[in-house]
Structure 1
């Protein structure tokens, strides 16, 4: 029987995650304590999102829940406290996520100064605006209308422990160190299925929730970033080249599946929960 082995929510895009025992699933992804997945994003002065691709040190920015605030920590810096309550008259800005232009709330000068000090470049912190809506590409959604926040493109990224085990065995045979799952930054990790069965699954049912995989997740060099140190190491893409290239994505090397929430929005997911897997053939 397949089970839900991990739930991870990333409050700030490309920064550290919160490992949870339970989380509410919304159409825009995981939510916990009023915090949505990738609800905040760090942006440059023109509003373009910053990520670990260019700034691996972002991995060291770690979130914690602190009552009615989100607390962010980084080495050699005092913590930054972000109130969860929204200001009625705060400044707004436009954030660019890939080809999308999204309205956001500016988190203010204190947050801007903190992130600029941590990353060593001028930047600001933006929060997805409550009146904004960002649609996923229906090219891959099969015509299903869905939205997301500041994720790369879809509300839920799902991986499996067997797929990581398979990759790690190949890395070991090549004399390389194994990788933890956090290199691939999933929201949902499934145990009890065969390696890469997620590629060929029509749906994952968790009680009243139904997740539908719609697009393989192409991988950039981010899995080479050690999430504990922020240091870039050997890239697993060379090993993945031999068996994870997807012709339907022009040969992109993929690990994990982007999913939509097609039923059960508002339900609570729990680690250890059983999953009914329906294959697509």
Structure 2
């Protein structure tokens, strides 16, 4: 404990000079933080700030109509696997071709309405117990294999497995995905791309030893910054978990997932004005 309560000398002046703003000096604008909440809950339903207005897909028939003839590809961690599981449970007739439920890859099909849905975990680092080497695929490579088009929906969530690693590694991975996403949108600009943000998690004693919401927020800010400027839609999971009275959980409970899926489907099938 020899370094406890030891005074650290300043490397520069011990004061700060505040000078008036020059007349032609531009306003400093943040490229990462968007001020203000993205929405709120009213009677358990998420109300997004601004547009588009979030549709309520309470009827399975309405959900099926939205997904009719579409290919829905979900890539990322278990927080996006929850969406795959939600669809599998809530849409009658969607046949889930089960493999390893936790590791995947997973696929669900509906022949009547020509719906194809897949989920694949992102490449390492992973916290799964065992993953076959043959199934270690990177999201960028998967995006390069897609044809894309108006009937293709790509959903990405990649954040929770990077919260124990240096932020530089995360940035490199996101930049690789961004380049592949740009190539996809160049060859098929009408492809619908949706990114799910990170969110606060439950801080149990075990989690507190390894994780913090502060670092998760830095990851979330990097995620938003890297994909800024691309033609992508967002599901603001951070705000949707933070605002709900169910509390924080690494795997949000069903009422929150239902609202997230409504936002997802709203981007796929917005209200036509």
TM-score class, shorter-chain normalisation, is under 0.3
Choose between structure 1 and 2: higher strand proportion.
Answer: 1
Rg larger for = 2
